[in-house]
Structure 1
Amino acid sequence: MSYKVLITEDIDVKGKNYLKEQGCEIKTIPDISEETLIKNIKDCDAVLTRNAIINEKVIKSAKKLKVISMHGVGVDIIDVDAATKYGIQVTNAPESNKNSVAEYTIGLIIALSKNLLTYDKELRKGNFQIRKVLGMDLEGKTLGVIGMGNIGTLVAKKASNGLNMKVIGFKRCIKNVVPMNNIELTSDIDYLLKNSDFVTLHVPLTDGTKKLLGKRELDLMKSNAFLINTARGEVVDNDALVDALSIKKIAGSAIDVFEGEIPTKDNPLLSLDNVIVSPHTAAFTTETIARMSLHSAMGIAEVLNGKEPTWPVNTIKDTLNCLSAK
């Protein structure tokens, strides 16, 4: 049986070829507006999204839809509750970017500790004496990892095994968690913040993690500590972070993600000299983009072929006989 898959934006050829090999017909659209999605999703069995918002209105209009696949890890652009209500499986690609984001995070930690961007900028202006501003060694320093999932765990291992850093990993529940060599696990986020020289965020954006770090939490950090965020911008209170960095309550920050995804031109974080910024690129490597494409396509094929998906986001009892609620 042939299935029709809506791909909202272009993806790497590996994913498209995989779907074609599975006998799927691929459908593309000119833009990702809600109107365009509703118009084009009606006859589709599956949708693979990168940035298109798949809300309940879109889901409800898709009478044949069986699976929504996320080209990536975070699924905050998909109304997972609505998908579950209508019996639609949601899958993602959590294994695809973990190494790339972990490597990027380690790179940001090194850049902050060694003043790399400051040295570069000042030397280009002829300031050779900037060399007198000292960096720091990472060996023996403490890294606090908030969120010990796929990415956070890999960051912790790279920092511990590769840089000889002490690591404190935060998980809300550490009961029955297998201990990891040289990594201390805690369910007390305040303890982590008070004792870390670097704090890195690796949690999904949920109601429970929105503004997880606000003024109270930032005030707990050491004055010479750094904050790295490659998770989601909304996990940190932007105003509180600006205040903490402006008055040097914390030493600096490296930010790959912003509230609302694209920062406004007047966002104060863009003008602070103790901040490294990048445009949500931690996962943007050739290898990751290929894996995201393939893994998100695999999730679609698994569901359409009646198999349990390798990377399920929600739990559906019977995905292929699920549309009676519509």
Structure 2
Amino acid sequence: MSKVLLPDTIPSEGEQIFNAAGIEIIHGTGRSAEKMMQEGSDASAVLIGTQNFDAQIMDSMPNLKVIARNGVGYDAVDIDAATARNIKVVNTPFALNDSVAETAITELLAISKNIFWDTKSIYDGQWNYKKTHPGNDVFGKTVGILGFGRIGHVVAEKLAGFNVKIIAHDPFAKATENVEMVSREELFVMSDYVLVHLPAIDSTKHSIGMAEFKKMKETAYFINMARGVIVVEPELVQALQQHEIAGAALDVFEEEPLSMDNPLLELDNVLLTPHIASNTIETKRKMAIDAANDIVAILNGDLAKSVVNP
């Protein structure tokens, strides 16, 4: 009987798919490499989150045929090692577009209106904090989308009713009715809000730093819902400290969980959330279903929906 390791709990709909296919579920007790290696030693499949999954872990699972990534990014998986071992890697790119787009726009609005700090001021007994920290309207502003793939398109669609100008940069995408394609430099220069929706690949890692922040308006906001590794985090901190930009909303970080000594926590012009862009009941259910179906397909020798390696 094939076995699937679940280091994390998943919605019951995913487990039901495994049960119907006769696949035994190994309920893991942790996401560390040591735990996965120990508990998944005879697993044929594994369904992971954002934790690293390298060649050493793969070699500890000699029966492994598929690694499923509960999400769209798969940068934490050593794709070359998996391919060399004839292990398929799948993800769930169709399950989370709306959720991530909704969260991106929520954070855009929240950082614009200073929602977090105004809310905190009530609990701190500082009702008049708002008088010296007014927010900003989004109406009439320019929103730049860096990375105009599936999620970027959905973000643009949802922003259509906000009466903003939408521009985007992506060398592999074309303009749409409401979105003007511009150069990368123009996007940073023109935007009042820069939304990052790039994949974390070699060409994008640490590709946004002080040079880009200096191109931005001093009144502009930087919003990253993609991967923390895309940004040179110390340079973002410096840009925020020196008010090169007005603020930032960040859902992802170079190191996660965010350490309590991270200088971002000392700034009052940031909105920080703990990687929650797809953390909704509905989206987690969709991801579990998509990942489980692809695992079953591969273990049965059938074609999977979202294979990311040859």
State if a TM-score over 0.5 links the two structures: yes
Mapped contact 1:48–1:68 kept (Cα < 8 A): yes
1:58 aligns with 2:57: yes
Mapping of residues 153-302 of structure 1, within 5 Å: 153-159=153-159, 161-174=160-173, 177=174, 179-186=175-182, 188-302=183-297
Paired with 1:301 and 1:213, the residues of 2 have a C-alpha distance of 39
Q: 2-side partners of 1:208 and 1:278: how far apart?
A: 26
Per-residue CA distance 1:251-279 (angstroms, 9 max, x = gap): 01111111111222121111211111111
Question: Which residue number in structure 2 is paired with residue 324 of structure 1?
Answer: none
- 1:225: Cα distance to partner? 0.3
SS of equivalent residue, structure 2 residue 302: coil
Change (3 A) 1:306 1:195: same
Q: Structure 2 matches for 1:17-28, cutoff 5 A? A: 17-28=16-27
Aligned partner of residue 167 in structure 1, secondary structure = strand
1:6 match: secondary structure: strand
Q: Distance in 2 between matches of 1:29 and 1:109?
A: 36
Seen in structure 2, the aligned counterparts of structure 1 residues 129 and 29 have a Cα distance that, compared at 3 Å, is closer
Q: Report what 2:121 is aligned to.
A: 122
Tell me how far apart the structure 1 counterparts of residues 4 and 45 of structure 2 sit (CA, whole Å): 5
Q: Compared with structure 1, are the counterparts of its residues 47 and 127 closer, same or farther at alpha carbon in structure 2 (3 Å cutoff)?
A: closer
C-alpha distance 209-120 of structure 1, shift in aligned 2 (>3 A): same
Partner of 1:74: 73
**Structure 1 residues 64, 272: closer, same or farther in 2, change over 3 A?**
same
Deviation at 1:30, TM superposition (A): 2.8
Q: Which moved more, 1:95-104 or 1:50-59?
A: 50-59
The higher relative CO (CA closer than 8 Å, separation ≥ 6) is in: 1
**Amino-acid identity (%):** 38
Q: Which residue is 2:141 aligned to?
A: 141
Deviations along 1:142-171, one digit per CA (max 9) or x if unpaired, are 111111122121112111x22121111111
Query: C-alpha displacement at 1:133, in angstroms?
Result: 4.5
Deviations 1:276-299 (A, max 9, x none): 111111211111111121111111
* TM-score normalised by L of structure 2: 0.93
1:223 deviation in Å? 0.8
What is the match of residue 100 of structure 1? Answer: 99
Change (3 A) 1:129 1:230: closer
> In structure 1, what is the Cα distance between the partners aligned to 2:38 and 2:121?
53
Deviation at 1:200, TM superposition (A): 0.8
Asked if 1:111 corresponds to 2:113, the answer is no
- CA–CA distance in structure 2, aligned partners of residues 88 and 135 of structure 1: 50
Query: 1:51 Cα shift?
Result: 4.2
Runs of 5+ consecutive residues of structure 1 not aligned to the other structure: 316-326
Judged with a 3 Å threshold, the aligned counterparts in structure 2 of structure 1 residues 53 and 122 are, in CA distance, closer, same or farther, namely closer
